[in-house]
Amino acid sequence: MPDELQQIIIGTAGHIDHGKTALVKALTGVDADTLEEEKRRGITIELGFVFMPQAAGDDRQIVFIDVPGHERLVKTMVAGASNLDAVMLIVAADEGVAAQTREHFDILKLLGMTRGLVALTKVDLVDEARREQVTNEVRGYLSGSFLADAPITPVSAVTGEGVQELRTALQALAATVEPRTDSGVFRMPVDRVFTMHGFGTVIAGTVLAGSVRVGDQVEILPEGLRTRVRGIQVHGAKTEVSGLGARTALNVPDVKKEDLRRGQTAAAPDSLKPTQRLDAQLYLLQTADELKHRARLRLHIGTDEVIARVALLDRERLLPGETTTVQFILEASTVAVPRDRFVVRTFSPLQTIGGGTILDAHPEKHKRFDEDALEGLTQLEGDLGQVIAQQALKAGAVPQKLADFVAATGAGEPEVAAAVAQLVEAGRLAAVREDYLHAEVLEDLASKLHHAFAVYYQRSPQKLWMPLSDLQAQAAKLMPKPVWEALFRQMVTEGTLVRKEQRVRPADRQVELKPQEQEWAERVARAYQAAAFSTPSEEEVRAELKIPEAAFAGVMTALTEQETLIRVSDKVIYHVEPLNQLREKVAALIRERGSMTVAELRDELGISRKYALAVMEYFDAVGLTRREGDARVLA
């Protein structure tokens, strides 16, 4: 289809024998009834697709979907009406508003239709007074609806009266249709399946999103059949590509016709997942009976019909005219996208009772009357930003890409990108590399890391630092590695965590010592400080201060964790103040002499070789000095 041509899908709606198919033939010259049975019985059984000739210079192509009017074929009517741009409601002047007029119009309202017109047919069979009477009846019936102010055109498919006027009204209606929002990912609900001699299997439908090219691989859902597109037709002509809003036929010869059906969806591979649960906002028609929890219904979504139980999440029964959030438990898999419209009909007898909007195509099972679940569903009823935020919250610690939000909302990528940017700026979403997490999820993960510290310190109250590898091991149980890296970096930058080499601690961590332990710690620290450069062994200090062995070990751990004492080797410990004096002295001596050996340090300080060697190796380890042969130079 040429890029400049916009197809406008207009569906017929109305009671059986009100002249829908005859009118479409009068407008287009083509009979939409093609089946032998349709011609024999004089009724429409299957969906018909007919193109109206374009007006000169008009870049809009009107496509009629002619639907059955019989009450037993409402299922087929819903499939045809699911993806319309506008509607032509047809009322016969000799009969007026009839049963299927009302049911069809209810369905159109439930599917979210916003524009259309009315054709008053068979005016050749009535006088002027009857025309006026039925026109007033129709206007009264449509009062308060999206067709309240729509034109009502008298027309006769037999005499041709009003046909040109209706054609002009349809072209004016088409001019008001705005381009559809495109998520960019190919999706086409299937409403026709047939075979063509020499070509094989063909599926047809209206492209709801993205585009498809000859040679592309597509997936037929919910069955998950994969096939390659051998050919494409739009408006009866071959083309290399078709896209958003176009009536499209795809030649998929390597799939058997018996494996295909109306109700499936052709989509880009792996872009949609089948589901057997759907969260939705459901409106019950004023004309319906009350709906009870767990009622068995027929759910019409896209071109599909699937049997489902309805779980009322906040009440025991839904009264006529009320709206609530529900979960459908499906008896067979289907595919859907949030913001898709649907219709529900009673299981038996067949009656349209309500409809609404999908909120979540892959929900968890909800507990009834759960306030958190109900609040989450309320968020999904909001604007795009609220829906994206709720999807991110539902995803938990799994980072979401922009494409995930597009798939989850059905909105266009530019629209989603703008909403995500606003959420990031408002602090509701956090960027993780090129992905996103809900800020509350990140806060919860940070809280869980702090809990990991609390558990560690409960086991080791004298510890100040936690090995970084231990924290990483705990984080691996909670979140993917990129999330851990981003969260850890954020917590260190914000100052809630302190990192020192391969150790880490909360910024507010204080070593917890009991009063007796604190007194021993102070005495031990003074003993090491007084010893200066010739520091005692741990056993000597413990024996001199008469501290119990188990308690002494805890005290030493606390003092070394706080870096009051520094373990320069397994056997040598210094108080931090004498060690800092040693650091300055060694640095000054090396600057003065150019280098220094262990023996020279020993002689300079009057300490044993054991201490001199331990000090030099420690200074090597912390980056103050570097060994060159037997000597040290400043690093």
Instruction: Convert the pLDDT of each residue in 83-110 to its tens digit.
Output: 788 999 999 999 999 988 898 898 888 8
**Residue 274: what pLDDT?**
95
> Minimal CA–CA distance to 67: which of 46, 83, 50?
46
Span 294-304, average pLDDT: 93
> Minimal CA–CA distance to 21: which of 5, 44, 4?
44
**Residue 178: what pLDDT?**
85
The pLDDT tens digits for 224-239 are 999 999 999 887 789 9
Check the CA dihedral 165-167-168-170 and report its sign: positive
Euclidean distance between CA atoms 221 and 225, whole angstroms: 7
**Residue 10: what pLDDT?**
87
**Residue 199: what pLDDT?**
79
- Highest mean pLDDT of the ranges 261-275, 498-512, 533-547: 261-275
**Residue 37: what pLDDT?**
39
Instruction: Show the tokens assigned to 206.
Output: 């209206």
In terms of C-beta density within 10 A (0-12 exposed, 13-18 middle, 19 or more buried), how is residue 89 classed?
buried
Residue type, 231: G
Please give the residue that has the higher pLDDT: either 42 or 436: 436
Span 274-297, average pLDDT: 95
Span 233-246, average pLDDT: 87
**Residue 39: what pLDDT?**
39
Euclidean distance between CA atoms 356 and 196, whole angstroms: 37
Give all strands of the β-sheet with 247-251 in edge-to-edge order: 225-228, 217-221, 265-267, 187-196, 200-206, 247-251, 231-234, 237-239
Determine what percent of the chain is predicted with pLDDT higher than 90: 47
Q: How many CB atoms are located within 10 Å of the residue 393 CB?
A: 17
Across 196-200, 201-205, 626-630, least confident range: 196-200
**Residue 309: what pLDDT?**
97
pLDDT above 50 (res 42): no
**Residue 139: what pLDDT?**
96
**Residue 303: what pLDDT?**
87
Please give the residue that has the higher pLDDT: either 574 or 16: 574
- Long-range Cβ pairs for the range 258-261 (8 Å, 24+): 259/220, 259/223, 259/225, 260/190, 260/193, 260/201, 260/203, 260/220, 260/225, 261/190, 261/193
pTM of the model: 0.72
Q: DSSP for 126-157?
A: S-HHHHHHHHHHHHHHHTTSTTTT--EEE--T
Across 25-34, 299-308, 390-399, least confident range: 25-34
Binned at pLDDT 50, 70 and 90, residue 48 comes out as low
Euclidean distance between CA atoms 48 and 513, whole angstroms: 84
Average pLDDT, the chain: 87
Euclidean distance between CA atoms 32 and 47, whole angstroms: 8
Binned at pLDDT 50, 70 and 90, residue 12 comes out as confident
The pLDDT tens digits for 121-150 are 999 999 999 999 999 999 999 999 999 999
Give Cα 523 distance to the centre of its chain.
Answer: 61
